[in-house]
Amino acid sequence: MINVFALNILLALAWAALTGNITLGGLAVGFVLGSGCLWLTRSLFPGCESYFRRGTKWAKLIVLFLYELVVSSLQVVWDVLTPQHKARPGIISVPLTVRREMDVLLVTNLITLTPGTLSLDVTEDGETLYIHAMFADDPDEIRRQIKDGMERWVIEATE
């Protein structure tokens, strides 16, 4: 069985070398073009469907995170610039569904990277995450947003 990801990396390197553009941008273009070529010839590579499924789930995770990043950034900027502050900070415990350390790490880092929230600690058993939220008026709503948002996206991407 051929490792489709390794083949895609090889195609990206070949593209960058052929175009003489060995930069991160050139490699990214080569990776996208290589993905397209591999997708068109996917019948030649048995088992590569999971590669493309996983790739789309990771792309979804990245796009949804970037959306959350923009929305929360605007919310924080608006609160800082307006005279009336709506921030009601608080510490909230969030029960985690993810169990693998890498999944917990990814969820906590995505939360920390989002303005207005900060991951503080994970319990020893890995079942509870403590976060600091800038807008903690409704802790249940924040738990729901994390469970239905970032945690679910991470589970989908890493299955």
Q: What pTM was computed for the model?
A: 0.77
Q: What is the pLDDT of residues 53-68, one digit of tens each?
A: 888 899 999 999 999 9
When the pLDDT of each residue in the chain is averaged and rounded to a whole number, the result is: 90
At 69, the pLDDT band (50, 70, 90 cuts) reads: very high
Query: CA 159, CA 155: separation in Å to the nearest integer?
Result: 6
Q: What is the pLDDT of residues 29-62, one digit of tens each?
A: 999 999 889 888 888 888 778 888 888 899 999 9
Q: Which residues of 39-68 are buried (b: 16+ CB within 10 A; e: fewer)?
A: eeeeeeeeebeebeeebebeeebeebbeeb
pLDDT at residue 133, rounded to an integer = 93
Q: Is the pLDDT of residue 1 over 60?
A: no
Q: Which long-range contacts (CB under 8 A, 24 or more apart) does 136-141 make?
A: 136/88, 136/89, 136/90, 136/91, 136/92, 137/88, 139/90, 139/92
pLDDT at residue 159, rounded to an integer = 81
Query: CA 82, CA 84: separation in Å to the nearest integer?
Result: 6
> Hey, what amino acid is at 12?
A
Q: Is the pLDDT of residue 143 over 90?
A: yes
Q: Please report, rounded to a whole number, the percentage of residues in the chain having pLDDT higher than 90.
A: 62
